[in-house]
Amino acid sequence: MSFFECTDLKELVPIPEPGTRSFADFYLEEIDKYPASFIVDGVSEEKLHFAEMASHIRVCSSNLLKKGYKKGDTICLMSKNCHNFIVALLAGSLSHVTISPANPAYTGHELLYQLDFSDSNAVIVGSDQIGSLEDALKLAVEEKRNLDLKDIYVLNYNSTVPATIQGIETKPFEHLLRTDNGSLMEAETSLDPKSDVWLLPFSSGTTGLPKGVALTHYNMLANIWQFVKYDPVFGLRSHHTLLAVLPMYHIYGLFCFALAAPMNGANVVLLPEFNPVNFLLSIQKYRCSHVYIVPPLALFLGKDPRVKEYDLTSLIDVVSAAAPLAADVASQAFESLQSQGLRDFAIRQAWGMTELSPVGTAGRYKANDLDCFASIGDPIPFTQVKIVDLSSREVVPWGQEGELCVKGPQVMKGYFKNEEATRNTIDTEGWLLTGDIAKVNEKKQMTITDRLKELIKTKGFQVAPAELEGILLTHPAVQDCCVFGTPHDSLGEAPSACVVLKPGGGASRLPSEQELKAFVGQKVAPYKQLAGGVTFVDQIPKTASGKILRRVLRARFL
């Protein structure tokens, strides 16, 4: 095979040249076209129309500028999904300030690492996360870290919020939404959208500790145009409604719910976290048309009996990303939804990573067989991909596995303050080395088989954990699982599994370890069998975006 790319570019409008305009300039131009569209909190039912949101963004930006924030400053944004997360995010762009989203589940130690490494000058934090911020700043004093924090703004400020934290006054975020004499200040610093960084999320990349991923205004603008403006299956429109259950601190949720949906006039239903009843009830109540999920939610849609208790017939597009989705799991979810009367809908995969702003490929068809379900789709417009041999780095033939590499305008600027990691990830020709192992079949359908660092080496053969996990998940008694390699005297590494059984077993009786090993063994080559054994656990540790934390389980067994 040669380079694999979208071939219908002649019909597409080019990505706009930004000149000196920020992402927010384009964003406001788009959402001003849809003043009546709205973002609603699915729990509190508080609604914010786009006209109000646009006003809040402009006022918030003006107040940040009046307080002296400018290009080169960084604000850490740590909160669960809420209206003002989006306002703060876009106000940063309009002010030419860098925004560094942080996981609201972070401990003080984890938050301190991000505050320090990102050179944050202020924090916008949810009231529920104040404890972590207090711990972080206390630890900073103990460790004599020289943080340059000037302001702390609190979302949903209440009586439990301390007046000061380590000598820094806490203020309600709402203060940034107030106008004084009605005048709005505009950023005076010049902007180079293709070079200046707007977003600084943290990712481990392919290896190592979390790194700041420097995403420019143009990275994000290009990816919006690539993925949403040109999506030929169910491109977002003003009559659509998205359910925002994934966390917006993560680039997947941020891109879909805070940026892509509003820029196309689609309504958004925000959920602060996943709750089975709220998730299903919100789809039914708000007649949600689009749901962006991770594989565990596909598993939920396919296996949880509560799914059949709600009217989900409004769904037309279910997109899974952030981790490989097993074809059988997708098929089960598809059949579950079909049984409720859904007909004109699709379950498809998209693929990307934080370093790609984040989308690289997307399914552009209605999945109707296992090959379609397993495929991550095609490169989005203006994107090239290639699959290369791990040793020779030459492009591999159709059907052969190799490392997936991507080139396009959405490729990050680099890792913040880490030139070595950047050089190891982006080659001299601009190809991003993703660390994902992929292959393309004779139908030109591309699938991710696993992560480069997670492959199990057994007698010199490579075993993909995702393949074995996909098989285990087809067992009626298995709710969830994780496969990883453990040291073995004769094999080098042996595939081992941790398995969560469904409540009640999901079958006539609970399976034994030997039965599950045999269940997998009959479907794979001898070297792929679970020679390391099966261990039954209560849950599989995962990130908020749905990625299995294999290292956590592996560490327990080593």
* Domain 47-203, architecture per CATH: 3-Layer(aba) Sandwich (3.40)
Instruction: State what percent of residues in the chain have pLDDT above 90.
Output: 70
Element (H, E) at 295: helix 295-303
How far is the C-alpha of 317 from the C-alpha of 325, rounded, in Å? 16
How far is the C-alpha of 381 from the C-alpha of 266, rounded, in Å? 22
Residue from 298, 307, 255 nearest 480 by CA? 298
Give residue 1's pLDDT. Answer: 47
Confidence of residue 365 (pLDDT cuts 50, 70, 90): low
pLDDT averaged over every residue in the chain? 90
pLDDT in tens, 274-321: 999 999 999 999 999 999 998 889 989 999 999 999 999 999 999 999
Size of the chain, expressed as the number of residues it contains? 558
Average pLDDT over residues 67-93: 97
Q: Regarding the domain delimited by 455-557, which CATH topology (the fold level of the hierarchy) does it fall under?
A: GMP Synthetase; Chain A, domain 3 (3.30.300)
Higher pLDDT: 324 or 460? It is 324
Average pLDDT over residues 358-377: 81
pLDDT in tens, 123-134: 999 999 999 999
Distances (CA, A) of 500 to 217, 492, 539: 42, 26, 6
* Domain definitions of the chain by residue range: 47-203, 455-557
Query: Do the domains spanning 47-203 and 455-557 agree at the CATH topology level?
Result: no
- Residue 208: is its pLDDT beyond 80? no
Average pLDDT over residues 17-34: 97
Higher pLDDT: 399 or 167? It is 167
Q: Is 348 exposed, middle or buried (0-12, 13-18, 19+ CB in 10 A)?
A: buried
- Residue 8: is its pLDDT beyond 60? no
Average pLDDT over residues 352-356: 94
SS3 string, 373-401, reads HHCCEEECCCCEEEEECCCCCCECCCCCC
Confidence of residue 9 (pLDDT cuts 50, 70, 90): low
Higher pLDDT: 206 or 488? It is 488
Residue with tokens 């203060």: 175
pLDDT in tens, 368-401: 667 788 899 889 989 999 999 999 999 999 889 9
